[in-house]
Chains A and B, each alone.
Chain A
């Protein structure tokens, strides 16, 4: 390029107006007409059905499996057990990659939890495979299972995914000693199971050394690499497809044993294999939210300021690996105090390994912390919002770093106004409705980090001026197909219908994980950068071309708008993308981009999304039947790409919070270590009748630091704070502090009439 050829050195300015619009889902018609294909909708020629036999004891050994009886059943083709399992390239007792957990893939006859797969039956029909599995009639040498939070605790090194188990500042005991008021409360949260609508399913087909696998996964490129590691093949030899995902909630972020074994079975028999876990089988091998017992100690001075805040969690984990609910972590983030102690211990249970689920750490942690805060406000005779404002963290409580942005005050104000919080009596049992129901109002602070994951994308302008944008995005109902397309259209200066998205597969640029509330920010930034790169190339071509009206635009730059580049300040001087490409003789022009957080910003700023959730409950004064009559949540989560989708996610999050407060609990039989309600009839999640009114307010927040797009993420924060808001409202209605979730009507009996 000669000096005489001016080029556009500045990035083209884009005049997009797609982001921020309430666009409806691009995949909506596919979804409502049943034509969106999920993993189990695939039926390759010649496939076999695979059904697991799962352990009905929680600890011990399998001493006998009647393989002959299973094989004798008509239609059964093969039975895979520890005795004949083909070798795997990875050691299931090792941890070769990040986000990898030790697992049970028939490496031996040990049973480490109830529901653990112990054999896999392959048959020509689902029915034959199911009956074959039943006919295995396993026998066991059973041992007494270790169940419950009273098992001996130990000190873990890390909690959640790599968070430190202990973070403290100041002198807690001195702070408590100096306090005018000391308060303690212990709150328990139960084991909960993700229960996505779509069960974990696999359709696996081997073509020589190449594995084609349809399975719902929140991180397809990482999952493909994990499959490659298990099977000793190159990552590019795995094609994993997840065009749609019917709910993940964290349970589909990491490969599970059933998925590995189903793919192994396909290789073993040389035929495609389909495996779909039953609902009951999803209560074990595909992770869950572990139970916690959280003890909070608070010291307050005479003005209602913290002198000390200590949050200690005891959490359950499995015997073969660790995932410890990081429930004490919200106390690192929300309140100013000279002394803060956040610690965790773990107990080993004979259970499936817990894992991340719907706001891991924060959901359980705020369920306890925000009840404790309500108790503190009550003890101080303060309005719960005033108490929170008195202890508002202006900077990160542990590091002192400024927040990249924090509109929590505005969330309090806007949420309180919409809810009608003003005039709420401080004392409980003051409000009754016209039917004689006790009415209570409670609130809780919502909080979730806004992480980013490394992500890549590719943006191609095509000869006709439209674009193809490729990244392994995952739409699990949150609307990634739509929101990321809005970002792509703006990045490319195109209208939304000019952008074709390709995602949901492992052979695309890596979009990272659709999880941690970081997908829109991460994949979105990669798309933004890729679009910029494409337009930069396009502008360079035009500016260098004497035949282009944009020739010589140089540093004045160009503007991209509706598929056309024009000179900045002169709309008449320009031409379409298609014209530029045609003259250059190019059928396509591709740019690529990576998205990652600026490490300097990451170390300089605390980055969190915030919100305030308000709940109204009505409680029958004699019977204790609880109804959440209203939920209002105000959330500040940076820039909102699509308010319709964001509100929907936040509404959904609050509904999951209601579920946490009143419904969800895996009923464990401590004698057997088995879950008694492993079905959607008895494991209660909310139905429409439980949710009469839920309202989300999006609170404006500009954040120049989280990423160039200013996006924080809304996937999980709605779940946080809500359980406590409801528990606090139940107290306000009844005067009863229930310190064990879920709150049930019979918990209120003693405190009522």
Chain B
């Protein structure tokens, strides 16, 4: 492994000044960065460990019912808090569907937003990858496209964003709070990640040295708590990235959809908010027809892998259907799974 400096600042100002130096990388849970350092895909000169920065490892509720989650809150802690799960059940389910218990204990909320694609060619320094090495080419283009983007990709990159959490955050209109040399700023999560275009190397709007300090969920997002679901298709029941995932949130008033949110994972280089589908659903009845039309709209323009596109449509419709039926009383035993956790005999 390439030798590197390790710095563990205890003040935000110090972290930002160290983080702004060329070759620095912020280290939080390390569940993604350390893997990339082991393969050689990431070779930072300096790790700035931000896990000891004061105040970032807790969350606070706003008077209006909004939630501000510090960037260093561990995924497990956020997922298992009953108040958070009650207000934002799809986020809790998304969190618990991701990775493994051990990884969720280490991984942080801010780090989850910052994680890199799991594209093999990105992690392998011996494969051409425009995202890792601009201009090198994209080895994914000629390969089996099953694991790659069907929406939002480009000739330069078709890698998918791997996060489960971010799919829920996108649907919940989360806001990212960012600290930097210029002070504090914020951006909607849906704007935070970038599509690859011709320059996939910058995958977020974070400028060098900037640091996520919190994620904010607006009070209005809790309004979907009665009709919220996160579903995830994958090859293994746990500890596997999504082939396709979907967050569906509904507000149903008098038997009509007052407001809908739909976001997809595993299909695009960023968490994919399906605004056209949402617009179709507003004012519609929560029935199979509406959901099928919304699913079609969500995958409008998708290309690259027909079976995956079909799956994504069906999953979007299913997530909407399940959301309409009502949020499960508690996060299911197999979070995100279409199967129940019990062993049921016929």
| Chain A positions near chain B (C-beta within 8 angstroms) | 56, 74, 127, 130-131, 134, 278, 280, 420, 431, 433-435, 437, 439, 616, 618, 620, 622-625, 627, 629-630, 662-663, 667, 669, 671-672, 676-677, 681-682, 684, 686-690, 692-693, 742, 744-746, 749, 753
Contacts and interface: CB of A to CB of B under 8 A. Distances in A.
Is chain B's binding surface mostly helix, strand, loop or mixed?
A: loop
B40 interface: yes
A663 B235 contact: yes
A131 B346 contact: no
Interface in B79-121: 100, 118, 120
Nearest to B305: A746
Interface stretch (B215-223, B296-304, B337-345): B337-345
Given A667-B144, A693-B343, A746-B307, 4 more contacts: A623-B311, A676-B120, A677-B120, A745-B233
Of B307, B310, B346, the most chain A CB neighbours within 10 A belong to B346
Interface string B204-247: 00000000000000000000000000000101111110010000
B235 A627 contact: no
Nearest to B142: A671
Contacts of A676: 120, 143
Contact of B345 (A130, A630, A667, A684): A630
Nearest to A431: B346
B270 interface: no
B339 A749 contact: no
Contacts of B126: 56
A131 to B, nearest CB: 6
B301 to A, nearest CB: 20
A165 B299 CA distance: 51
B40 A134 contact: yes
Contact of A625 (B238, B310, B338): B338
A667 B124 CA distance: 14
A623 B318 contact: yes
B29 to A, nearest CB: 15
Contacts of B237: 627, 687, 689-690
Contacts of A437: 339
Given A127-B1, A620-B338, A677-B120, A433 B344 contact: yes
A686 B308 CA distance: 23
A606 B84 CA distance: 64
A745 B236 contact: no
Contact of B3 (A127, A280, A667, A745): A127
B343 A692 contact: yes
15 contacts: A134-B2, A433-B344, A434-B344, A437-B339, A616-B346, A620-B338, A623-B315, A623-B318, A663-B235, A669-B143, A682-B118, A692-B341, A692-B343, A745-B233, A745-B235
Contacts of A662: 235
Interface string B1-14: 11100000000000
A278 B38 CA distance: 10
A435 B340 contact: yes
Is chain A's binding surface mostly helix, strand, loop or mixed?
A: loop
A623 B346 contact: no
Nearest to B123: A679
Contacts of B142: 671
B120 A684 contact: no
A630 B343 CA distance: 8
A672 B127 CA distance: 9
B120 A623 contact: no
B146 interface: yes
Contact of B318 (A435, A622, A686, A692): A622
A626 to B, nearest CB: 9
Given A131-B3, A618-B339, A671-B142, A688 B235 contact: no
B314 interface: yes
Contacts, number: 95
Nearest to B121: A676
Given A130-B1, A684-B236, A689-B238, A629 B311 contact: no
A745 B243 contact: yes
Contacts of B314: 622-623, 753
B308 A684 contact: no
Contacts of A625: 233, 337-339
A667 B147 CA distance: 12
B280 interface: no
B344 A687 contact: no
Interface of B: 1-3, 38-40, 100, 118, 120, 126-127, 139, 142-144, 146, 233, 235-240, 243, 307-308, 310-311, 314-315, 318, 334, 337-346
Contacts of A753: 314
Contact of A690 (B118, B139, B236): B236
Contacts of B139: 669
A434 B346 CA distance: 8
Contacts of B235: 662-663, 684, 742, 744-745
Contacts of B38: 278
A740 to B, nearest CB: 13
Contacts of A630: 343, 345
A348 B320 CA distance: 50
A540 B56 CA distance: 80
Given A127-B1, A134-B2, A625-B338, A746 B146 contact: yes
Of A431, A667, A692, the most chain B CB neighbours within 10 A belong to A692
Nearest to B333: A689
Contacts of B343: 629-630, 692-693
Contacts of A618: 339
A750 B144 CA distance: 18
Nearest to B307: A746
A431 B344 CA distance: 13
Contacts of B1: 127, 130-131
Contacts of B311: 623-624, 745-746, 749
A255 to B, nearest CB: 27
A618 B237 CA distance: 13
A421 B233 CA distance: 30
Nearest to B306: A749
Given A134-B2, A623-B311, A686 B236 contact: yes
Nearest to B313: A622
B236 to A, nearest CB: 5
B120 A682 contact: yes
Nearest to B315: A623
A199 to B, nearest CB: 14
A74 B340 CA distance: 55
B343 to A, nearest CB: 4
Contact of B233 (A130, A623, A669): A623
Contacts of B238: 687-690
Contacts of A420: 345
A490 B240 CA distance: 47
B43 to A, nearest CB: 9
Nearest to B143: A669
B49 to A, nearest CB: 18
Given A127-B3, A625-B233, A749 B315 contact: no
A663 B344 contact: no
A131 B314 CA distance: 47
A253 to B, nearest CB: 28
A285 to B, nearest CB: 17
Contacts of B308: 746
Contacts of A689: 237-238, 334
Please give me the 5 A-B residue pairs with the lowest Cβ-Cβ distance, nearest first: A689-B237, A689-B238, A56-B126, A746-B307, A692-B343
B199 to A, nearest CB: 25
A689 B1 CA distance: 34
Of A134, A681, A687, the most chain B CB neighbours within 10 A belong to A681
A688 B338 CA distance: 17
A623 B307 CA distance: 10
Contacts of A742: 235
Contacts of A671: 142-143
A147 to B, nearest CB: 13
A145 to B, nearest CB: 14
Nearest to B126: A56
